[in-house]
Amino acid sequence: MNFKLRLLSIWMPESLIIAEIDRIAKVTIKCLNQLLKKYAPENQLLNEKLVMKGNILMRRLIMADAQNIRVKNLIESLGYGEAVKIGRKSLYQVGLKLGLETRQRLNLNDSQRDLLNAAQILYRVLGIEFHIIEEDDKIFLIVEKCSLAAYYTKETCRILSAVDEGVVHGLNNNFSMTFKKRITEGHSECQACILNK
């Protein structure tokens, strides 16, 4: 593990967490706005500017509220099934780009350890705590605490979790991740399966 990754695994300044929340909010809202522009051009949300302010918790709430509203509008325009399909496909690409950028910024190698340490750093930004269970050739990422679960609708969580799946692939293109359970859908924890391709 390189020094930067080791340091961020131990400690992250509040200013860096805030900057990362704002960055994630900006790219995900931009993507959702582009989808609304394409599929619901009359939508008034397109005229609203996202204003991130306050402390870490406030910023997470602002981001989640903005995402919820846009997902709701996308579902109203396209129907649930189509909105999930189109939203997840677009947001996966957003996550992939975020993962690739993070890989470069943290100078990650192709090890499973670097992947999981980087994921832990990114999830800490969002107030998400997880542990890993390894079985045979599968890795299960178990989220026991998620600050966003209190804010997200189950529809938003289903669509936005594609960002996480894209991030993992961007951090290390030898791995893919798929969510199997979500807290927002009534489970006591989120469970994602990470596979080494």
pLDDT tens column, 106-158: 999 999 999 999 999 999 999 999 999 998 878 999 999 999 999 999 999 99
* Continuous H helices in the chain: 3-10, 14-39, 56-78, 80-106, 112-125, 154-171
The residue extents of the domains of the chain are 3-196
Q: What CATH number labels 3-196?
A: 3.30.1380.20
Q: What is the pTM of this model?
A: 0.93
Nearest Cα neighbor of 161 from 174, 173, 144, 149 is 149
pLDDT of residue 46: 66
Q: Which residues are CB-contacts of 7 (< 8 A; sequence separation ≥ 6)?
A: none
Q: For residues 150 and 120, what is the distance between their CA atoms, to the nearest angstrom?
A: 20
Residue 169: closest CA among 181, 177, 161: 177
HSE, CB side, 13 Å, CA atoms: give it for residue 110: 5
Using one digit for the tens of pLDDT, what is the confidence trace for 53-97? 999 999 999 999 999 999 999 999 999 999 999 999 999 999 999
Q: Which residue has the tokens 């100078």?
A: 107
pLDDT of residue 3: 64
Residue 2 backbone dihedrals phi, psi, to 5 degrees: -75, 170
